[in-house]
Structure 1
Amino acid sequence: MANSENHGKGTCNELQIQDNGDVCSLYSDKTKFAVRDELSSRPYRLAAIVLGVLSAVFLLLVIGLSVHINRVSDKHDILSLNSSINCSQLVQLQSDHRSLTESKNALQNQHDEDVKMIKSLQTNLSRETRLKNELILQNQKLEEDVRKMQSQISNLAEGNCGKCLPNWVQMGSTCFYFDVSSTIPSKGWKESRDECKKKGADLVIIDSKEKQEFIIKNLKELKQSFSYYNGFWIGLKDDHTEGIWKWLNDATLTQGYWMDGEPNDERGIEDCAAVYSTNNPMKAWNDAPCSHPLKWICEKEINKTF
C-alpha cells in the first residue's frame, strides 16, 4: 500500500512537474466527485431494488391472475357446455312430454269410447236378458196351458170333466197338483204341506207301484231334471222314530222306492222324504232335512169338495 501511494504521489509529482502542477489538482477533484456520487446514488439503488421486487411481485400476481382467469375461463366453457347440454335435454324432455300428453289424450279418448261401447253392450245385454226372461215366462205359461189342456183332455176321456181343477192332474178318483211354478219359492216339508192344505189337499201318499209310476211319468212330462235341489216333498217322514217311516194317514211304510243307499239319515237330520225325477221310477226317493227347500206334490180325492 505504501508503494502504491508513493507511486501515485510520484506520478502526481511527475504530472505536476510536466503540467505545472495542474494535473494532480485535477485528479484530486475527480476523486472527490466520485465519492460524492457513490454516496448520493445509494437511495436510488434501494428504490430500484424495491421497484424491482415490486415489479417481480406484480409480475407474479399478473401471472397468477392469468392462470386463475384461464381456469375460470375453462370452468366457464365447461359450464356453458353443460348448460347447452341441459338446454338440449330440456328441449328433448319438453318434446317427450308433449308426445306423452298427446298419447295420454289419445288413450283417454279411446278409453272414453270403450266405456261408451261397454255401456252400450251392457244396455243391450240387459235388454236381451229381459227379453229372454220374458220368453221363459211365456214358455212356462204355454207349458202350463198345455198341461191344463192335457188335464182337461184326460178328464174328458175318462168321463170326469170338471172333477179336477185346472193345473191338477187326475188318476182314477184322485187329483194331483205338482208345484212347478218358478215364481213360487221352494219350501221346507211343513211349509209345503201348509200350501197343500190351502188348496184343501195334503202332501201325496204313494202307496202303490202304479201311483209311483204315474208321478214319475208326470215329472218327466213337466221336464223336471234330477238334482238334489229339484225334488218334491211327499207325505212321508220318520221324525218320531228313526228308521220307521210313516205316511200322513199314520200308515207305516211297507214298500218304498228309495234311491241306492237311501235313506241314510246323513248327519242325523234327514227325517223327511222327497221324490225325484229319475230314469228308474222304482229308485226315486231320498231322505232330506225337513227344512231343506224343495217343491211339493199335493193330492185330493175327487169326491171331496175343492
Structure 2
Amino acid sequence: MTDFTSTVRMERRENSGCNFDGGFNTLICQDDLHDEEHPSYSPSNQNRQQVFMSKMTQGRHGRLAVVSLVALAALLLIVDISLGINYNKLKDTHLATDDTERIEKEMNKLQDAYKTAIENTETTKKQLNSEMGRQKETNWELEHQTKRKHEYEIMIDKITQDIASKRSHLPMIKDGCKHCPAGWILMNLMCYYFPFLGNTGLKTWQKSREFCQMHGGDLMIIDSKDKENSTVNVLLKNVDPSTPNTGFWFGLRDFHEEGTWKWLNGSVLVEGYWNDGEPNNINNEDCAAVYPRENYFKAWNDVSCGATMKWICEKAPI
C-alpha cells in the first residue's frame, strides 16, 4: 500500500509540475504542500514533514547571513574609499615647516607695522590737539566775525572813526618823555587806572565817571580789538580768582532818546564784544561793563547803571 501511494504521488508531481527553490536546493511540489496542508496519520508522513520544515528554516537563516555579509562588505568598501579621499585632501592641505615659519615671519612684520601705525596715530593726535589749542583764539575771532557779518557795510565808517579817535588820544612826545601818575599803567600809549587793590570800593556808573574826571580822565573807551584784548588780559592777570564774575564799568551807554549805544566821545558803537544773548536790556540795563573772560570777544554785558562795581579810567600821559 505504501509503494502504491508513493508511485501515485510521483505521477501526480510529474503531471501537475513542481517548483525548484535554488536557495534550499530542495524540490517542493504542490502535492507535498497539499499533503502538508492535509497530513495523513502515517508516522512516516510526520517525520518527513519535520525534516522538510527543518531544511526550510536552515535555508532562510543561511540566506539572511549571506545578505548581511554582502551589506557589511559594501559598507566597509565605502568607508575605505572615504578614508582614502580624506587622506589625500589632508596631504594636499598640510603645511610644511617652511610655510609655517614664513607665515610667522609675515605675522611679525604685520604686528610691527601695526604698532608703528598706532604710534604714528598717537603722535598725530598730540600734534592735532596742540594745533587746536593754538587755533582757539582764531576760532573765537572767526565765530565773532561770522556773527557780525551783517555789519560789514559800515566798516569803512568805523575805521575812519577809529583813526580820528586814535589821533585825538595819541600823546605828543615833546620836550621829553611823558609818563603815567602813580597807580596808573601805560598801555597802548595811554594811562589806565584799574582799582584792583584800592580802598575806593564799588561805584555806580556815574560815580565811576566822576572819579575818573576828578583825576583828569574819563571812563575807558574800548573801540578796537587791540584795546579789548589788552584790557581783558589785564583783568585776567589781576582779578581775584575767587571773584571771577567781577565787572568793570567803561565809557559806553545806551541813550534811550536815540536807542543806540554811544561812546563818551559821542561816536556810535560799531563793533561790540558782547557775551551771547547780550545786550538784553533787562531792568533798564543801559550801561556797559567788561568782564575777565578768556574769550575776549564775549566779555561785555549790559548792566543797570545804578548797580555798583569796579571801573576803568583812561587819560593821556603827562
The alignment's TM-score, normalised by the length of structure 2, stands at 0.42
The structure with the larger Rg is 1
The alignment's TM-score, normalised by the length of structure 1, stands at 0.44
More helix by share: 1
